[in-house]
Structure 1
Amino acid sequence: MNCIQKIKRLYDLSENENFGFSEIEILELEKKLGIDLPAKLKEYYQELGKEENLNYSYNRLLKPDGEIGFSDDGYLVIYEENQVVAFWGVKKEDLKLDNPPVYGNYDTIEKSDWEMENQTIGDFFLLMAVYNGTLGGLQYNGNFFGDVDPETVKLIEESWSLVPEISRDNQKVFTDNYYEVISLSFDQENKCTGAFIGTSDQERFDTILENIDLDWSYLSYDDDEEYDKE
């Protein structure tokens, strides 16, 4: 599966339905910027760019009409962090590539440099799909902040498949064929300090909760309970 197929499966989006911006909107953007967008970036905008839960539930995909543009130091900025303290973009000289790397700028007091986020745009969009999904974009989601015992980490590692292209030492992503995802956070001593889960399937969600013994900080079910009380 390519990244778009994986994302559509995770979000339970029809393979036959379009969720993106029109070809005319993309052509107008290219004309305005004076460039040709990389093939994989254009493909994502045209197939998935308008899907709200995927792209606008937490971190945000920048829209073609007046949002996407170049930074002063020559990066095409395509995505922003939910509190607008971080941005992601593509080097101008990499725009000729079909599937270029994506860099992040976290603009801290100490530095404001661009750092490699993912080797390809496809991997970046898959990472954001997981990130946004486990933080509210997927219908069934939850998180736990605190120490996760090694036995629970081992269970997850043995029961779900690691997604190496979007995992790193401090954040590892696991999946079951992209029907569900689990993301684990680690500190500098390799201790697990948080867990995030998400899926579009309630039965799968319930199974995750049955198998992973954590006192969840938040579950999407919590909102349903509050709604019922009201």
Structure 2
Amino acid sequence: MSTSLDLCEQIPLAVRGRHETWNFIRNFASSWVTPLEEADGYSESVLSATEERLGISLPAALKEAYALFGCRSDLTRNQEYLLEPTALYIDHNALIFRHENQGAALWGIRLADLQHPDPPVYHSWCEVGNVMGEWELWLGRFSLACLDLILWESLYDNRMPTEYRDSDDKDLALVEQLYSELPSFEGNDSYTPFGVRWFTGPDLLLCYTGVDLRVRTRTREALCSIRESLPGDWLYE
């Protein structure tokens, strides 16, 4: 695997537009997982059949994402699942495309926004009795929700060293001191939901959620290093 991808340098480029986002995802897959190949995306005929089944036109960004990496479960279906085209469905006036692995949350595009090439994404918690809560804005563009998805799912790839533990304010101060924070943005250029912060260091990617720390490393040596730098009860995911 290549080690040349500078995440801090590439993130500002990735948020400029959806085609730049797709380039970032290609580069991230090559550097942190395995390169994308033509067979990793769904064909135009599959996506057209989905549109016919649902009776809608899918946004351009959604079709581009599914055509690029939609078949790569290692990038998209470790924890919160990107639904396969045959599983996409409409509910509560939205096109649902992502589920939390135990059904506790949903992500969707409102039907009223489907005409936009790269529409905003909304999120809803499923409450007691599987009753959906209100839709809340997640991220301003579908492509950026895909960037968030790819980074987040990388933390749950059990083929690579991944761990997590509860965190506190002291942890955050130490993380800020030891690691480089990935650039963050507001409004339609944000690629992370509120409260989530990403950091990187040699061969590691670390996510601070406000509740816990989650880390993905490329090597066992990098995992040992973060255990020493941030001591505590790390748990294997």
TM-score band w.r.t. shorter chain: 0.7 to 0.9
> Structure 1 residue 183 and structure 2 residue 203: aligned?
no
- In structure 2, what residue type is equivalent to 1:61? L
Measure, in 1, the Cα distance between the counterparts of 2:140 and 2:159.
Answer: 25
Percent identity over paired residues: 21
- CA shift in 2, pair 1:47/1:92, >3 Å: same
Cross-structure match for 2:115: 96
1:68-217 to 2 correspondence within 5 Å?
Answer: 68-71=88-91, 73-108=92-127, 112-136=133-157, 139-147=160-168, 149=170, 150-156=172-178, 159-164=180-185, 165-175=190-200, 180-186=204-210, 193-199=211-217, 201-202=218-219, 205-206=222-223, 209=226, 212-217=229-234
8 Å CA contact 2:180–2:199 kept in 1: the answer is: no
Contact 1:144 1:214 in 2 (8 A): no
Cα distance change, pair 46–168 in 1 and its aligned pair in 2 (3 A): closer
Q: 1:111 to 1:62 in 2, by over 3 A?
A: closer
Deviates more, 1:125-134 or 1:142-151: 142-151
* Cα displacement (A) at 1:151: 3.3
Amino acid at match of 2:213: A
Q: How does 1:39-78 map to 2 (within 5 A)?
A: 39-65=60-86, 67-71=87-91, 73-78=92-97
CA RMSD of aligned residues (A): 2.8
Q: What is the CA-CA distance between 1:44 and the residue it aligns to?
A: 0.7
SS at match of 1:173: strand
Q: SS at 2:209's partner residue? A: strand
Paired residues for 1:215-230 under 5 Å: 215-219=232-236
Distance 2:73 2:126 in 1: 26
Distance 1:35 1:138 in 2: 37
Structure 1: 5+ residue stretches without partners: 187-192, 221-230
The secondary structure found in structure 2 opposite 1:106 is: strand
Structure 2 unaligned segments of length 5 or more: list them: 1-13, 15-19
Secondary structure in structure 2 of the residue aligned to 1:125: helix
CA distance in 2, matches of 1:116, 1:29: 25
Q: Which residue of 2 aligns with 1:226?
A: none
Q: Could you say if the C-alpha distance between residues 100 and 28 of structure 1 is closer, same or farther in structure 2, counting changes exceeding 3 Å?
A: same
The answer on whether the counterparts of 1:53 and 1:138 sit within 8 Å (CA) in structure 2 is: no
Q: CA deviation at 1:216?
A: 4.7
Structure 1 counterpart SS, 2:85: coil
| Runs of 4 or more above 6 Å deviation | none
Show the counterpart of 2:43.
22
Cα distance change, pair 117–14 in 1 and its aligned pair in 2 (3 A): same
TM-score, normalising length from structure 2? 0.76
Would the aligned equivalents of 1:90 and 1:103 in 2 still touch at CA under 8 Å?
yes
Q: Which amino acid aligns with 1:151?
A: A
Q: Relative to structure 1, is the Cα distance of residues 50 and 16 closer, same or farther in structure 2, using a 3 angstrom cutoff? A: closer
